[in-house]
Structure 1
């Protein structure tokens, strides 16, 4: 029997049935594809109260670079071992030298508290007339481009906002703990000061854009990430060159470890402990370089603390590219990845972003408004001065 001998109604019904079966098959395939993306073996990202604004897994990488075009990390990076504790007398001596130069500012511990009330902050700052003068001076600087001068600390706090005023006061409290014996050392410190200010500002912009429920805490934490650098610079003026000569974060860590047998994480933790800062800050500062070597998830910190460290690490490495490496004049990267930045400090960043559910940071980085806000801050900081 040829196809011409088959009744027309049977042919039509057969085609209809075949079409229905095809639709059902394609539907099942699409469902399988959807389910397959939810890999049951995949580690879930962290959605704690601290990161309440992030409710989804990380966005996929844009894959902006062909893998063949991405350079291999240096041999130094591949073989690098991060020191994570005081292991010998040389380290102990350096830490003691940094700690004994000047006692931490008596108000530093109070300023690290979660402060939301302007009156509470004013009551803290007004106890140190020098701190009052310095906060007012910064408020009247070109950084904020005021049309009318601010003359009282209360006005400064109201205008700047509690968080901004607190972070500025904290920076000056940290400066109180440092002593400088050379112009190069002083220049390096002011570069670190600008980096900490920019990091806290970028951290706040991103945390607010992602609707994180502790944006103020994260902003302050980004500022404190540079505490170890201040301690190192105070103890050893000769390392100032690593903050002035376009040195990358990894090169800075590597060279300082080779020269001094310690690093900013160890020093920051020691300083914070000496200043009697909250224990969670002490411990997280001691872990703030672990993302460089992909060991944060193996630390003894709680998952929430690890998330804070991961967020701060990402923000501070972006800041480093602007302030210290001068690899860019603004945040002109589209994603947090080694392929995009070509910077070894981001080598493990995609895994970091995925593990801690921080992928939506990439969306913020691409927003024109965010880039404009950061560019404005960078311009007012006058990094070349």
Structure 2
């Protein structure tokens, strides 16, 4: 097991780091005494990043009635937590190469991730979370499968083998990874979350998004799990396998709906995912 952990840590160490400005944003945003002004000053020091955030804020994703022309204005309108998550989403996409030798299709990967992000946010809203808190739900969905990218980039032979096994035996990639590598994308994703100093609730969602047992772990983890099944059943993109599971009893209870019932409650999902594509477009732009 030590050998496996060592191999995972070596792979995680090779992942690109976030820009300094994003590290500072995450650090500041985790401080309850942080002011909007401090956060704005950090973002302003990175003009390229500032421009990306303003483009995102003025896109159909937020659907604002009037144009936001400054980061100060954006911070007032969006709130500190949403601004933090916008910065985090853009930075994560920007840190990830567009191709890998393992053959993980990054276009399909990001479409799946966006669908899970959008569904998680919508499910959180159904349960009454505020608009500001819903930004955490979107970020958790966007990054839930980030460990697959680490595998595809830095353990490509093993990851290819796991993807092949998942297809051949019609099993989940999560299961196949455990058999081939002795660890899963959730394990290595959680290690990356530590390296990137992501907030603890994001770390938990990445680590536990397959491991909900009977459900009821935390509202956020339950929403990510349910959103993952919704996105797979509706074939939004692909992330290595197409197996989906019914919702555990506690998650059905939380929503008073089964998987098909949840899907019926998300009629605008297609359109919302389309709007969210701007994250990838702007994140990947150099």
Q: TM-score, normalised by structure 2?
A: 0.67
Name the larger-Rg structure: 1
Shift of the alpha carbon at 1:118? 6.1
Shift of the alpha carbon at 1:256? 3.3
Equivalents in 1 of 2:48, 2:185: separation in Å? 28
Question: Are the equivalent residues in 2 in contact too, given 1:265–1:287 (CA < 8 A)?
Answer: yes
Shift of the alpha carbon at 1:179? 4.0
Equivalents in 2 of 1:242, 1:150: separation in Å? 46
Distance 1:147 1:285, change over 3 A: closer
Residues 123-182 of structure 1, C-alpha deviations (whole Å, 9 max, x = no match): 443343332233234446676688987654445556777665543321222234434564
Whether 1:192 aligns to 2:109 is yes
Structure 1's unaligned 5+ residue stretches are 1-86, 298-302, 327-342
Question: Are the equivalent residues in 1 in contact too, given 2:43–2:49 (CA < 8 A)?
Answer: yes
Whether 1:320 aligns to 2:232 is yes
Question: Are the equivalent residues in 1 in contact too, given 2:139–2:202 (CA < 8 A)?
Answer: no
Shift of the alpha carbon at 1:103? 2.9
Distance 1:148 1:183, change over 3 A: farther
Pairing 1:263-282 to 2, within 5 Å after superposition: 263-282=184-203
Match of 2:181 in 1: 260
Question: Are the equivalent residues in 1 in contact too, given 2:36–2:75 (CA < 8 A)?
Answer: yes
Match of 1:345 in 2: 244
Equivalents in 1 of 2:9, 2:156: separation in Å? 14
Pairing 1:352-371 to 2, within 5 Å after superposition: 352-354=250-252, 357-359=254-256, 365-367=263-265, 370-371=266-267
Residues 71-91 of structure 1, C-alpha deviations (whole Å, 9 max, x = no match): xxxxxxxxxxxxxxxx24144
Equivalents in 2 of 1:271, 1:124: separation in Å? 23
Residues 228-260 of structure 1, C-alpha deviations (whole Å, 9 max, x = no match): 2333333245658999xx979953223333443
Equivalents in 2 of 1:161, 1:241: separation in Å? 44
Q: Tell me, what secondary structure is at the counterpart of 1:212?
A: coil
Distance 1:279 1:201, change over 3 A: closer
Q: TM-score, normalised by structure 1?
A: 0.53
Equivalents in 1 of 2:162, 2:68: separation in Å? 36
- How many residue pairs get aligned? The number is 265
Match of 2:119 in 1: 202
Match of 1:287 in 2: 208
Distance 1:208 1:359, change over 3 A: same
Distance 1:111 1:251, change over 3 A: farther
1:309 aligned to which of 221, 229, 253: 221
Match of 2:284 in 1: none
Distance 1:219 1:241, change over 3 A: farther
Question: Are the equivalent residues in 2 in contact too, given 1:126–1:132 (CA < 8 A)?
Answer: yes
Whether 1:377 aligns to 2:272 is yes
Question: Are the equivalent residues in 2 in contact too, given 1:200–1:222 (CA < 8 A)?
Answer: yes
Whether 1:220 aligns to 2:142 is no
